[in-house]
C-alpha cells in the first residue's frame, strides 16, 4: 500500500551569520563557565559546513573529526557551549555514541574442516579459478593482522594493502591488531590457506584486502571514528579498487534510518559504488531486533544459520537462535538473506584479546572458533568479491538483486516456509547462483538514494502490523501476503510485540529432530523472493510520518543526544 510522500525538512543553518551574531557568539563563548562543566563529544551537521565551522571558530572550539561525507564535525562541547550553538543555528546534533562489536562466546575448538564454501556453493567458482582476483574487500573493524592467509593469495602473491587507523587518522603498513575480531572476520572472507584437502579456507582467497580500524582493543568505537573510516573508504575506493565494505557490527537504532549519521555515511558509500554488507546483529530471535547499520534499506544485511555440526546432512540445518530478525521500524524486510554463522573457524593469533578471553576456543596455533552474524557477514562479503571478479560492471543494486533472487529459502515438513521472511529474508545465500545470474533491476527499485540523502523523500517498507500486533507483508499488487512466509499461523501466535515466536510450542529451535521436509536439502530454490516483474518484494514506498509500524508512543529514542549505542552482545556457540 502506497502512502503519501512528504518533504523532509533539510538540515539547514538559519541564514548567514552576520557580524553581529558572530560577535554575540564570541562574547558568549568567553563568558561560559569552565568550572564544573564536563565536555561531551557530539556530531554536528549542517547543510552549509562552512557556516558551522565559523560558528565553532567563534566559540574557540576545534573539531576532533571532520566528516565531509555527511557534512559534519565531531566536537567536544560543554552543555553551555551546546546551548549557545543551538540558539544561533539550526544544526542537527547527535551524541557521538560508543559502539561495540557484535561478538560471540566461543566454545571448545573443533578440528573440523572448513565447510563454508561447500555450504554456500562457492566451490563451483573455485573450480573455474574464480578466487576473487581484481577486487578489494575493505573491513571496517578492529584492524587486520597480516597472517599468511591474509597477507598472500593462493599463489603466494601479496594481496593486502595494510590498515587505515580511523581512530588516530593514520595509515599502517602492518597493523598489530590486538582485539582479533577484524582478523577473524576478514579471514572467513579471504583466507588463502588450504585445508587438509588442498582447498582454500576463505571464500575469496585472491581478493585484495584492506583494514579500516575504527574499534579499539576492547572492541569499542565511536560514531565519529566509524564515519571517518567510511569516508576514507569512499575517498580511496578508486585508488585501491574498493568494491565491497564489510561492517560486522550492530547497534540499536536510535532514529529513522535517514536521520542516523552512520546510516547517512553508509548510504553515501552505496551511492559511490561500494557494496556494503552488514550484520543483522545478535539480538534474536525477537522481532524488530535488527541493528544499525543493518536496518539501512539499501545495503545487504546478513543473518546467521548453522549446519548444526553436521556439514554433510542439511536436514538439521537451522537459523541460529541469536540471529536478529526484522522488520525494521520503517517496515523493511530484514535480514536480506542468511549465511553460515555458527562455530566458524577463522584466523586469530593466540596473543589477541579474544584468544586470551576464550582460550578453550583456540587450537593453540592460529585458528579460533566463533559464532555470530559478524562471521556470516564475512561469508557474504567474500561471495560479493567472487561476483565482482566475474563481472566488474555490476552495481551495488545489481549485486543485491542477484544475491536475493538466487537465495534458497528453508522449508518445513509441511512444505511451508520454516521461518518467517523477517527471520531468513530470501534464504541461504547461493554463491554460484548469484555468480551465474543475469538478473538486474530487481533490488532497491522503489528507492532513490539521492533523494533520500538530500532529505526530500524518505521511504517505508512493505511490512505492516495489524491490530493484534502481527506483522504481514503487502505484495507488489497491494494484496496481503500470508501463509507464504509472512504471518502463517500454524495455530499459534506469531511475531507479537512481546517477542513471541509463532508455533504452539513457543519455539522453533528444536534440537534433536529435524524441522525440515523430505530427505534432500532444506534450502530450496523458489523461495519468497517473489520477483513479479523483477522486483524482490516491494522495496519501499515514499514515507509519511504515520506510515511506520510503530504505534503511537512507540518510539524509544525521543532524544538521540542522550542515547548510547553499545553492541557487545555475546552469544553461545551454535
Query: Catalytic site residue 374?
Result: yes
Task: Take residue 451 and report the three cell numbers written for it.
Answer: 533523494
Measured torsion, CA atoms of residues 149, 153, 156, 161, in degrees rounded to the nearest 10: -90
Domains and CATH numbers, the chain: 19-96 (3.30.70), 99-460+557-562 (3.40.50.200)
- Tell me how far apart the 2 most distant CA atoms of the chain are, in Å: 79
Give 192-224 as a DSSP string. Answer: --B-TTS-BSSSSTTSEEEEEE-B-TTSEEEHH
Q: How far, in Å, are 274, 335, 406 from residue 298 at the CA level?
A: 12, 12, 18
Secondary structure letter of residue 412 according to DSSP: B
Name the catalytic one among 29, 65, 114, 181. 181
Name the catalytic one among 97, 114, 141, 153. 141
Query: Catalytic site residue 448?
Result: no
Q: Could you give the 3-state DSSP secondary structure of residue 249?
A: strand
Residues of the chain with pLDDT under 50: 1-36, 105-112, 483-522, 524-538, 544-570
Query: Catalytic site residue 405?
Result: no
**pLDDT at residue 97, as a whole number:** 59
**pLDDT at residue 38, as a whole number:** 84
Nearest to 457 by CA among 447, 442, 467: 447
How crowded is residue 364: how many other Cβ atoms within 10 Å of its Cβ?
9
Task: Take residue 28 and report the three cell numbers written for it.
Answer: 558568549
The pTM (predicted TM-score) of the whole model is: 0.78
**pLDDT at residue 499, as a whole number:** 31
Secondary structure letter of residue 114 according to DSSP: P
Name the catalytic one among 374, 389, 420, 437. 374
**pLDDT at residue 293, as a whole number:** 96
CB 189 within 8 A of CB 201: no
The runs of H, that is alpha helices, within 59-213 are: 79-88, 116-119, 123-127, 148-151, 181-190
Amino acid at each position: 500500500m502506497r502512502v503519501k510522500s512528504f518533504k523532509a525538512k533539510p538540515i539547514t543553518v538559519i541564514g548567514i551569520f552576520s557580524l553581529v551574531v558572530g560577535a554575540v557568539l564570541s562574547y558568549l563563548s568567553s563568558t561560559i563557565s569552565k568550572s564544573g562543566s564536563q565536555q561531551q563529544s557530539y556530531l554536528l551537521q549542517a547543510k552549509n559546513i562552512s557556516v558551522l565551522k565559523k560558528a565553532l571558530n567563534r566559540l574557540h572550539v576545534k573539531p576532533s573529526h571532520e566528516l565531509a561525507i555527511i557534512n559534519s564535525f565531531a566536537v567536544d562541547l560543554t552543555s553551555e557551549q551546546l546551548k549557545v550553538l543551538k540558539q544561533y543555528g539550526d544544526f542537527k546534533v547527535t551524541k557521538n555514541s560508543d559502539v561495540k562489536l557484535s561478538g560471540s562466546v566461543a566454545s571448545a575448538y573443533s578440528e573440523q574442516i572448513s565447510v563454508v564454501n561447500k555450504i554456500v556453493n562457492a566451490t563451483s567458482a573455485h573450480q573455474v579459478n574464480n578466487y576473487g582476483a581484481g577486487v578489494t574487500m575493505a573491513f571496517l573493524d578492529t584492524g587486520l593482522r597480516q597472517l599468511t592467509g591474509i597477507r598472500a593469495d593462493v599463489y603466494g602473491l601479496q594481496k593486502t594493502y595494510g590498515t587505515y587507523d580511523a581512530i588516530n587518522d593514520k595509515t599502517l603498513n602492518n597493523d598489530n591488531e590486538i582485539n582479533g575480531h577484524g582478523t577473524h572476520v576478514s579471514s572467513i572472507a579471504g583466507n588463502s590457506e588450504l585445508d587438509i584437502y588442498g582447498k582454500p579456507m576463505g571464500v575469496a582467497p585472491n581478493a585484495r584486502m584492506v583494514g579500516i580500524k575504527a574499534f579499539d582493543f576492547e572492541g569499542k568505537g565511536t560514531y565519529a571514528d566509524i564515519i571517518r573510516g567510511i569516508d576514507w573508504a569512499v575517498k580511496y575506493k578508486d585508488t585501491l579498487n574498493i568494491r565491497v565494505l564489510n561492517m560486522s557490527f550492530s547497534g540499536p537504532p536510535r532514529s529513522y534510518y535517514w536521520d542516523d549519521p552512520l546510516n547517512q555515511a553508509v548510504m553515501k558509500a552505496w551511492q559511490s559504488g561500494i557494496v556494503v554488507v552488514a550484520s543483522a546483529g545478535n539480538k534474536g530471535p525477537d522481532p524488530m531486533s535488527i541493528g544499525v547499520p543493518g536496518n539501512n534499506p539499501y545495503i545487504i544485511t546478513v543473518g546467521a544459520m548453522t549446519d548444526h555440526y553436521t556439514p554433510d546432512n542439511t536436514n538439521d540445518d537451522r537459523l541460529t537462535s541469536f540471529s536478529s530478525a526484522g522488520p525494521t521500524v520503517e517496515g523493511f524486510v530484514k535480514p536480506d538473506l542468511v549465511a553460515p554463522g555458527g562455530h566458524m573457524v577463522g584466523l586469530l593469533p593466540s596473543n589477541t584479546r579474544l584468544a586470551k578471553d576464550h582460550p578453550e576456543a583456540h587450537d593453540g596455533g592460529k585458528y579460533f572458533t566463533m559464532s555470530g552474524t559478524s562471521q556470516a557477514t564475512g561469508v557474504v562479503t567474500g561471495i560479493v568479491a567472487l561476483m565482482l571478479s566475474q563481472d566488474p560492471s555490476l552495481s551495488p543494486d545489481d549485486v543485491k538483486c542477484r544475491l536475493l533472487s538466487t537465495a534458497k529459502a528453508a522449508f518445513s515438513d509441511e512444505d511451508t516456509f520454516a521461518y518467517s521472511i523477517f527471520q531468513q529474508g530470501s534464504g541461504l545465500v547461493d554463491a554460484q547462483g548469484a555468480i551465474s545470474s543475469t538478473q538486474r533491476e530487481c533490488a532497491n527499485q522503489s528507492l532513490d538514494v539521492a533523494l533520500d540523502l538530500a532529505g526530500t523523500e524518505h521511504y517505508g517498507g512493505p511490512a505492516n502490523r495489524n491490530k493484534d500486533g502481527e506483522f504481514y507483508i503487502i505484495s507488489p499488487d497491494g494484496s496481503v501476503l500470508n501463509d507464504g512466509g509472512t504471518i502463517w499461523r500454524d495455530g499459534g501466535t506469531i511475531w507479537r510485540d512481546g517477542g513471541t515466536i509463532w508455533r504452539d510450542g513457543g519455539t522453533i529451535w528444536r534440537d534433536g529432530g529435524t524441522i525440515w521436509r523430505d530427505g534432500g536439502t532444506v534450502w530450496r530454490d523458489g523461495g519468497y523472493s517473489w520477483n513479479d516483474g523483477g522486483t524482490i518484494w516491494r522495496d519501499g514506498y515514499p514515507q509519511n510520518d504515520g506510515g511506520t509500524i510503530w504505534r503511537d508512543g512507540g518510539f524509544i529514542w525521543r532524544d538521540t543526544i542522550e542515547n548510547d549505542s553499545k553492541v557487545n552482545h555475546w552469544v553461545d556457540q551454535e
